[in-house]
């Protein structure tokens, strides 16, 4: 299992799989073939279907600069290993192909080459890769989720997670200040600032829900406008975890160290999903993105609120379970509708899952690992229309304002 650094990638949105990863792939290809006379990038399946809305072409053009570049969109063709396939070609001045690379964007900004090697992988030693294995280990050793992350990654992970927290907080606070139209053509206005202003005047439950929604909108709107965010575990789901942490940061007033520990726990939860199923909307639908984000946030909240190991697992399990079957059908291929609002709902749900777990003794019938397995199976059974092609569901129903 990889470092949790791959769950938390700091960078520019709006999509970890459609902008961050293609941008990285283009950099890599250009480094290998810097002197070609002309370049061609072919995008397949989901990358081609939603690439324009997700700004995939812009992410590649940004790297290629003024070099001659052709981008070919093949939404009806799928490469063998993953729906998000890309082929990079370089040509010399005689038009002969002098370089070729087939590569896949496999979710959360990660790249995999055609020999199925994950590129730039930073494998650290996580001998335990299932939740059940982790729980048994914690029971025997007295260790904790965050303690296990420390043990596997080394103490330097703390510095990294501090930077993650600062970046999350930065995008959230920036997002709360912004107004105006989100680019892309849907004419969607930013709402975070107004939600925040109105929610502060409310009382009790309404206020909490309103504030958490405002926080999630703030980050997701930053993502949609190409602001810097942290994947958690993807760009599309980047608002859920920061919203919950920011709310608890202001209400419970935990130490910075406690926030870092909560991020470690959430990262481990996301890693277990990524390793055993997928966090890619193109592969398993939104259940893998926002569903995983909700599980991560619920676990982090349960830990911050003093939950036991079993209660933390239960909170995470509910966070994912109640997103099972959730499709990915972004309107216009943009990470806006339903994505932004969905982050807000997942954030409030994460807190409910946490509360519910804390009210229980943590004992329940369906395990987190079971839900992860079902999520994978459900995702694979979803017709491809509902896996980030922007061809079905809400994307099809939308007729414009």
Which positions lie near ligand SF4, rule CB under 6 A?
Answer: 236-237, 281, 286, 289-290, 328, 330, 335, 338-339, 388
Least separation in angstroms between residue 236's CB and ligand SF4 is 3
Q: Could you please report the per-residue DSSP string of 93-146?
A: TTS-EEEEEEEEEEETTEEEETTSPBTT--B------SHHHHHHHHHHH---HH
Least separation in angstroms between residue 168's CB and ligand SF4 is 17
Gyration radius of the chain's alpha carbons: 21
303 vs 389, beta carbon nearer ligand SF4? 389
150 vs 289, beta carbon nearer ligand SF4? 289
Measured distance between the N- and C-terminal CA atoms of the chain, rounded to whole angstroms: 45
Distant-in-sequence contacts of 122-125, Cβ < 8 A, 24+ apart: 122/2, 122/3, 122/5, 122/6, 123/1, 123/2, 123/3, 124/1, 124/2, 124/3, 124/152, 124/153, 124/154, 125/152
- In this chain, which residue has its C-beta nearest to ligand SF4? 236
144 vs 287, beta carbon nearer ligand SF4? 287
Least separation in angstroms between residue 400's CB and ligand SF4 is 19
Least separation in angstroms between residue 398's CB and ligand SF4 is 13
Least separation in angstroms between residue 237's CB and ligand SF4 is 6
Spacing of C-alpha 305 from chain mean position = 24
SS3 per-residue string spanning 145-163: HHHHHHHHHCCCHHHHHHH
Least separation in angstroms between residue 73's CB and ligand SF4 is 18
Least separation in angstroms between residue 324's CB and ligand SF4 is 14
150 vs 388, beta carbon nearer ligand SF4? 388
Residue 314: exposure state from Cβ atoms within 10 A (0-12, 13-18, ≥19): buried
274 vs 310, beta carbon nearer ligand SF4? 274
- The CB-side HSE value for 82 (13 A sphere, CA atoms) comes to 28
124 vs 324, beta carbon nearer ligand SF4? 324
17 vs 303, beta carbon nearer ligand SF4? 17
């Amino acid at each position: 299992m990889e470092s949790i650094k791959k769950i938390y990638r700091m960078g520019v949105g709006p999509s970890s799989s459609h902008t961050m990863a293609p941008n990285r792939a283009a950099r890599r290809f250009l480094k290998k073939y810097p002197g070609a006379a002309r370049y061609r990038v072919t995008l397949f399946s989901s990358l081609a279907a939603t690439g324009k809305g997700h700004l995939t072409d812009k992410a590649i053009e940004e790297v290629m600069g003024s070099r001659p570049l052709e981008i070919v969109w093949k939404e009806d063709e799928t490469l063998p290993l993953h729906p998000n396939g890309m082929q990079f070609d370089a040509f010399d001045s005689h038009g002969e192909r002098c370089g070729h690379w087939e590569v896949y964007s496999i979710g959360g900004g990660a790249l995999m080459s055609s020999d199925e090697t994950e590129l730039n992988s930073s494998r650290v030693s996580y001998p335990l890769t299932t939740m059940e294995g982790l729980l048994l280990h914690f029971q025997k050793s007295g260790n904790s989720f965050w303690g296990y992350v420390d043990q596997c990654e080394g103490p330097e992970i703390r510095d990294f997670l501090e930077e993650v927290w600062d970046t999350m907080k930065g995008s959230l606070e920036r997002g709360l200040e912004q107004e105006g139209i989100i680019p892309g053509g849907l004419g969607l206005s930013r709402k975070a600032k107004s939600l925040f202003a109105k929610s502060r005047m409310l009382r009790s439950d309404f206020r909490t829900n309103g504030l958490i929604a405002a926080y999630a909108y703030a980050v997701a709107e930053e993502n949609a406008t190409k602001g810097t965010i942290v994947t958690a575990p993807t760009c599309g789901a980047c608002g859920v975890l920061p919203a919950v942490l920011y709310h608890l940061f202001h209400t419970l007033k935990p130490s910075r160290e406690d926030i870092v520990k909560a991020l470690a726990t959430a990262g481990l939860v996301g890693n277990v999903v990524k390793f055993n199923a997928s966090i890619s909307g193109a592969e398993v639908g939104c259940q893998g993105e926002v569903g995983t984000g909700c599980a991560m946030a619920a676990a982090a909240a349960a830990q911050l609120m003093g939950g036991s190991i079993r209660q933390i697992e239960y909170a995470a399990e509910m966070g994912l379970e109640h997103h099972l079957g959730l499709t990915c059908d972004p309107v216009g291929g943009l990470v806006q509708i339903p994505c932004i609002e969905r982050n807000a709902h997942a954030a409030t749900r994460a807190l409910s899952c946490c509360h519910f777990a804390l009210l229980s003794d943590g004992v329940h019938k369906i395990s987190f690992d079971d839900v992860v397995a079902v999520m994978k199976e459900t995702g694979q059974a979803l017709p491809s229309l509902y896996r980030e092609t922007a061809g079905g569901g809400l994307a099809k129903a939308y007729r414009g304002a």
